[in-house]
Amino acid sequence: METLDADALAAHQLRRFNAIVERILPENRFYTEKLAQAARPLASLEDLAGWPMTYKEELSGSASAVFANNLTWPRERYARLHQTSGTSGRPLVVLDAADDWQWWIECWQHVFDAADVQAGDAVLLAFSFGPFIGFWSAYDAAAARGCMVVPTGTMATLARLELIRTSGASALLCTPSYALHIAETARQHGINTRSLGIRAVIVAGEPGGSLPSVRGRIEEDWNATVIDHAGATEVGPWGFGDRRGQGLFVLETEFIAEFLSVDTGEPADEGQLAHLILTSLGRVGAPVIRYRTGDLVRPSWRGVDIGEGRTCRFVFLDGGVLGRADDMVTVRGVNVFPSSIDQILRGFPEVVEYRVTVTRQGELDHLHVEVEDRLGEPQRIADELRVRLGLRVETTLVAAGTLPRFDGKGKRFVDRRKEAASQG
């Protein structure tokens, strides 16, 4: 499926799209109302641009709503409950029917294929238990593949290291920053992570898996291949990385991807910074049509060599997910993403942890970076930020161990601009 030519892929997507719309209407009240004026069936993928978009705020509904608004069936038909992290608004509770959950598992197999995870491998998941969907979908997908799944729940980092050793795990799943934190903890206790036998580190939740400096440090720490992955509770597991670590493929057999230029709002050209819009093709119980993800990407339609003489025809996102539209800050005319700062700071092996705070001073955004730096020389970091970003960024040293650590999505980017606006 990854090698389909453009016409065959478009025909596949169009057939899947019309089939799912036919299944959800009129049972799905949200989309029955939203698509009342849409001409059905869809005649071509180009016509999809005339259909309305879906926004997360619509799915959340009123403050009293318990579940997402886009459910097709009565609650009794659903077998899974998960919720978003709440990093941009209140958490969204999403349900999946049994068939939809099987679709999640099948989508995940592309991620494991990319990482060369085989039946019989031990896969260790360094996530806490809870309603985070990424843990559970990866868990069930690995089990379906024939792997031994090693959950670590709320274990401390040192205990997780011991379980990696005793279980013989060959694949590690976690966030990029937590992979670095595990390795740092190992160094502090005289443990060589390169000798633990981890062959692949599958990362998600943060942009680091497609950032060369972050990826390079993880691969050096673990002597393993890093595979990036992207997904969302309300959308599904839509992206998987290439083994060279240069970006993400969109799983286009299961999702339709659209890209709207940040500058013009029109369909983006090759390599242009764009908003990512996704339509799921296999999730009947909680469908999303033209969902504005909030992610910013640079699409490329050039086929990418994936080895063994094969070229993947899926759209490729150079650099993966570059950031979120609401996270981008403009400092003295320069657009800055948290991922850009992460790329620079992770290029310093001595930087153990950091935090970025953005505030509003008058009409301008202001960045302040705090670093735990084993060398104790923050000026060299400030100099690199100035050279790479073209900005003077206030950089201060803090004591080791004072900044928070995360085994889920890191919260290293603190935006206090709204606080300043409310006080003003």
CATH assignment of the domain containing 23:
3.40.50.12780
Question: What local confidence, expressed as pLDDT, does residue 145 receive?
Answer: 98
Percent of the chain with pLDDT over 70: 92
pLDDT in tens, 208-242: 888 888 899 999 999 999 999 999 999 999 999 98
pLDDT per position as a tens digit, 39-74: 999 999 999 999 999 998 899 876 667 899 999 999
pLDDT digits (tens, 9 = 90+) for 345-385: 988 989 999 999 988 776 667 889 999 999 999 999 999 99
Q: In this structure, are 168 and 280 located in the same domain?
A: yes
* Average confidence (pLDDT) over 74-87: 86
Same domain, 298 and 405: no
Query: Confidence band (pLDDT; 50, 70, 90) for 31?
Result: very high
pLDDT of 333 strictly over 80:
no
pLDDT at 102 over 60: yes
Asked if residue 226 and residue 127 are part of one domain, the reply reads yes
Band of residue 157 on the pLDDT scale cut at 50, 70, 90: very high
What is the pLDDT, as a whole number, of residue 423?
56
Q: Which has the minimum average pLDDT: 103-112, 289-298, 319-328, 403-412?
A: 403-412
Length reported for the chain: 424
* Same domain, residue pair 76 and 132: yes
Pairwise CA distance, residues 10 & 30, whole Å:
26
Range of the domain at 393: 329-423
User: Residues 193-215: pLDDT tens digits?
Assistant: 999 999 999 999 887 888 888 89
Q: What are phi and psi of 166, to 5 degrees?
A: -75, -30
Residue 21 scores a pLDDT above 90: yes
Residues 261 and 277 in one domain: yes
- Assess whether pLDDT exceeds 70 at residue 1: yes
Residue 254, SS3? coil
Question: Do the beta carbons of residue 78 and residue 97 sit within 8 Å?
Answer: yes
Assess whether 120 and 209 both reside in one domain.
Answer: yes
Q: Are residues 302 and 353 in the same domain?
A: no
pLDDT tier at 422, thresholds 50, 70, 90: low
Asked whether residue 208 falls in the same domain as residue 336, the answer is no
Answer yes or no: are the C-beta atoms of 142 and 112 closer than 8 Å: yes
pLDDT at residue 148 greater than cutoff 90:
yes
**302 or 371, which is more confident:** 371
Structural domain ending residue among the three candidates 324, 344, 379: 324
Cβ atoms < 10 Å from Cβ of 266: 12
Residues 271 and 344 in one domain: no
CA geometry: angle 85, 88, 94, nearest 5 deg: 45
The residues, any chain, with a CB within 8 Å of residue 219's CB and separated by 6 or more, are 201, 225, 226
> Please, what is the average pLDDT of the chain?
90
Do residues 90 and 180 both lie within one domain? yes
**What are 375-387's pLDDT values in tens digits?**
999 999 999 998 8
Pairwise pLDDT comparison (285 vs 407), residue with the higher score: 285
User: Which of the listed residues 324, 345, 375 is the one where a domain comes to its end?
Assistant: 324
Using alpha carbons only, give the angle 294, 249, 146 rounded to the nearest 5 degrees.
Answer: 110
d(CA 85, CA 93): 10
Q: Tell how strand 148-151 and strand 171-174 pair up.
A: unpaired
Q: What pLDDT shows up at residue 309?
A: 62
Taking CA 64 as the corner, what is the angle to CA 62 and CA 69, rounded to the nearest 5 degrees? 55
Q: Report which of 411, 396, 414, 398 is spatially closest to residue 358, judged by C-alpha positions.
A: 414
CATH number at residue 365: 3.30.300.30
d(CA 217, CA 208): 10
pLDDT for 343 equals 83
* Region of residue 241 (phi > 0: left; psi between -120 and 50: alpha; otherwise: beta): beta
Q: How confident is the model at residue 243 (pLDDT cuts 50, 70, 90)?
A: confident
284 and 154 in a single domain? The answer is: yes
* Domain-ending residue, one of 289, 324, 359: 324
Arithmetic mean of pLDDT, 275-303: 95
> Are both 176 and 301 inside the same structural domain?
yes
What is the pLDDT, as a whole number, of residue 283?
97
Other C-beta atoms lying within 10 Å of the C-beta of residue 41: 13
What's the longest Cα–Cα distance across the chain? 65
pLDDT given at position 242 = 83
Beta strands in 42-165 (DSSP E): 78-83, 93-97, 122-125, 148-151
Number of domains in the chain: 2
**Distance set, CA 55 to CA 37, 48, 170, 234 (Å):** 18, 16, 39, 11
Give the model's pLDDT for residue 131: 86
